Amino acid sequence: MSEEVTLRAVRPADAAALLKLLRQLGQETPFLLADATDLDSSVSAEAAQLQQLSQTTNNLLLVVEFDGQLVGMARVAASLAPEIQHIGEVGVAVLHELWGYGLGTALLEEVLTWAQANPSIRRLELTVQERNQRAYRLYQKLNFQIEGRSERGFYDTQDGFQTVIHMARLIDHKSK
């Protein structure tokens, strides 16, 4: 891959491109744990949601841009409720044609850098289908720990019930 790849925070102006990316990801991989209704958002509704996201301190949405197109993303979604606002749920996805180029690793490393610098975030958690060994190995490599498994935690219309692994990484901020 010799063309320029840019990893950056999403902008409200990316709404249409982001929806296109999410729809393509939803079609090409059985590993996403997203609800199909999430993909039915209008461009204006998505732009408004991205604007709201940018105004929070404990949420993050990064995108990978390649050759003028969005080809991957990483999201940290956290609640505004004081009791759980320190927990960020992580999701990472890259278009299948670009697997193996280190984009998922770069996205997740950027998420970890952001979390270390963010005093609000003290825990990152995620779920991964057990059959998604590529993602599972990436999370292990970056020190996410297994906290449990859910048998029949996901249903794939072609492959049936799948086991989901719950993983987390604690974020300890260095004292100054």
Question: What is the SS3 assignment for 57-86?
Answer: CCCEEEEEEECCEEEEEEEEEECCCCCCCC
Chain centroid offset of residue 115 CA: 13
Classify 5-170 by CATH class: alpha beta
pLDDT bin (cut points 50, 70, 90) of residue 47 is: confident
pTM, entire model: 0.88
Q: What is the pLDDT of residues 155-173, one digit of tens each?
A: 999 999 999 999 999 999 8
At residue 36, the pLDDT reads 46
pLDDT bin (cut points 50, 70, 90) of residue 52 is: confident
- Across 113-120, average pLDDT: 96
CA atoms within 13 A on the CB side of 24: 17
Q: How many CB atoms lie within 10 A of CB 159?
A: 11
- Across 23-38, average pLDDT: 70
Task: Give the residue extent of every domain in the chain.
Answer: 5-170
CB 87 within 8 A of CB 122: yes
Which residue has tokens 């408004």? Answer: 48
- Where residue 152 falls (left for φ over 0; alpha for ψ -120 to 50; beta otherwise) is left
Asked if the model's pLDDT at residue 56 lies above 90, the reply is no
pLDDT bin (cut points 50, 70, 90) of residue 116 is: very high
Asked if the model's pLDDT at residue 54 lies above 60, the reply is yes
